[in-house]
Amino acid sequence: MAQSKQQLADRFEALVAPLERKVYYTCLGMMGNPEDAQDAAQDALLNAFRGFSRFREDARFSTWLYQIAVNACLDALRKRKETISLDWLREDGFDLPDDGPDAYLQLEEKERKQALKAAIAQLPADFRAAMVLVDLQGLAYQEAADALGIPIGTLRSRVSRARQGIMKILSADGELFLKQSRHNGERREEQ
Amino acid sequence: MTHEQMDTLLDGLVRGELNPQQQKEAQAHLENCPVCQAKFTVLNDSVQLFDDEELPPAFQQNWRQAVQAEARKEERQGGVLLSPRFTRLVALAATLLVLVGGTWAAGNSRRQAAQSMAMPSQADQMALPQAALRMAEQPEADSMMSMDAAQGPAAMAKSAPEADIPLAAPAPQEAQIQGEAVQPASLEPTKPEVATKEQVEADKQGAESYDLKAQQPEGLALVLSDLLTFLRVAWPYFAGLAALALIVRLLNKRRKQP
């Protein structure tokens, strides 16, 4: 039976409502700040509605929505002309230092999360998308690969390299975090 | 346990998907390995990265408003006439109309062409009975004379015993005596009225092809045959239209692809 646009919009809203949080946080992970994340998430949902009548029922709605959200973010990042050159991430042979990001471990949870967000924002967009879907959103590898439209092997490789990159960034900035942590600790002791 | 082995368990550990034995081994390794402990902490923090973040109320409201506005806009612009179902119906009806009309026209012209080819011309129709009549009247032996007559009066004169006597044109009575092959009124050598064997054969073939009307297909076979004739002529146009429709569809899909 043919549906009017209004009925279609109502049905779309009902399907998206339980997923709107995930769409927004995916965009937040990709864009790095709430303002851009809101814009990207809204664009994604509007695009999804425009294509909703062609959505195949046999496909998984959440995967389809993630795909649209990631594409909206990649478009927005391209418009923002964000060019992060992290060639070292694409090169083989990166080894995590033996001591690891000790400084990171010594930070408080809130500070760790700030540091982690900053590190994620430094990843190239395609690596960031892989990490956001798998590590931040907790998608299964296959679902994330479907959402990104890449083979699962490629996704595994990107996730692995993104994690290595994050560890390296956090290790490199370790001293800074450590100093900040010590400074905060000292302030707390003074109080 | 090595770092690499631990790497394979990290995902499961963070997501709580390891069996008790694996979990015990992983925990034991983490206590003694700062590198893996750091990796685990980063992963664990990643999973909970946005737990403290609140979903902006403006976002929840804005996307719903945008979707509703889009629905109203599409309904205003599209309406029933531009709905995909309606356009598909119109396209189907137009295709059927072209096929039926084209089939009818192709069949009609084919039958007309067949008729004009199979039906003898008026001159042939008049000549046919005369030729048949002559064949019936003349014995087999006279055929040679008829052949000579067909080559003209000059040749006839040569074949005659008095060949050395020039004879431009025999008198009408003489010609009649020699076999009534040449009509008295016509002295034109290139158009003899006498039917040769070849002419008679051709006439017979013409009559047979005229009878082919009776062997033409009927009913569904006729319609299919006409359709085939039409498609044989019109397929490049259909192929062109199909290619055009495909290109438009692809462009449209690309434009709407989120």
- For B78-101, how does the pLDDT look when each residue is reduced to its tens digit (9 = 90+)? 655 556 667 778 888 888 888 888
Average pLDDT for chain B: 71
CA distance B131 to B193: 8
Report yes or no: B89 at the A interface, CB cutoff 8 Å. Answer: no
* pLDDT confidence tier of residue B149, bands split at 50, 70 and 90: very low
* Location of structure tokens 């005229």: B210
At residue A94, the pLDDT reads 47
Nearest CB partner across the interface for B35, out of A38, A72, A98 = A98
Task: Output B32 or B144, whichever has higher pLDDT.
Answer: B32
Cα→Cα distances A151→A94, A158, B202, Å? 23, 11, 74
Residue B147 has pLDDT above 50, yes or no: no
Residues of chain A found within 8 Å of residue B79, distances taken between Cβ atoms? none
Q: pLDDT of B131-142, one tens digit each?
A: 555 555 555 544
Whole-number Å distance between alpha carbons of A126 and A155: 10
Per-residue pLDDT tens over the stretch A122-132 = 899 999 999 99
Q: Is residue B153 very low, low, confident or very high in pLDDT (cuts 50, 70, 90)?
A: very low
> Above 80 in pLDDT, residue A114?
yes
| B41 reaches A (C-beta below 8 A) | yes
The amino acid that residue B181 corresponds to is A
Work out the average pLDDT over A151-164. Answer: 93
The reply to whether residue A38 touches residue B58, judged by beta carbons under 8 angstroms, is yes
Q: Considering only the beta carbons, identify the residue of A8, A42, A71 that sits closest to B63.
A: A42
| CA angle, B132 then B136 then B138, to 5° | 115
Nearest residue of chain B to residue A141 (CA atoms): B11
Say yes or no: A56 contacts chain B, CB-CB below 8 A. Answer: no
Q: Contact B49/A96, CB-based, under 8 Å? A: no
* pLDDT tops 50 at residue B156: no
Cα gap A142→A156, rounded to integer Å: 10
The whole-chain average pLDDT of chain A stands at 80
A:87-116 residues touching chain B, CB 8 A cutoff? 96, 98-102, 104-105, 109-110, 112-113, 116
Beta carbons of A46 and B42 less than 8 Å apart: no
Q: Which of residues A80 and B213 earns the better pLDDT score?
A: A80
Beta-carbon contacts of B78 under 8 Å, excluding residues fewer than 6 positions away, are: A5
**In 3-state terms, chain B is what percent helix, strand and coil (to 5)?**
75, 0, 25
Dihedral (CA of A168, A169, A170, A171) sign: positive
Residues 140-159 of A with CB under 8 A from B: none
Whether residue B214 contacts residue B114, with contact meaning beta carbons closer than 8 Å, is answered with no
pLDDT value at position B5?
Answer: 83
- To which residue do tokens 């992290």 refer? A86
B152: left (phi over 0), alpha (psi -120 to 50) or beta: left
pLDDT at B191 > cutoff 80 = no
Candidates A40, A147, A107, A152; CA nearest to B42 is: A107
Task: Please tell me the distance in Å from A189's CA to the nearest CA on chain B.
Answer: 26
Query: Distance from CA of residue B200 to its chain's centroid?
Result: 40
The answer to whether residue B12 scores a pLDDT higher than 70 is: yes
The tens digit of pLDDT for each residue in A9-57 reads 999 999 999 999 999 999 999 998 899 999 999 999 999 999 888 787 7
B50: contact with A, CB 8 A cutoff: yes
Dihedral of CA A148/A129/B2/B37: which sign? Answer: negative
How many H-runs (helices) and E-runs (strands) does chain A carry?
Answer: 11, 0
Give the per-residue pLDDT at A67. 93
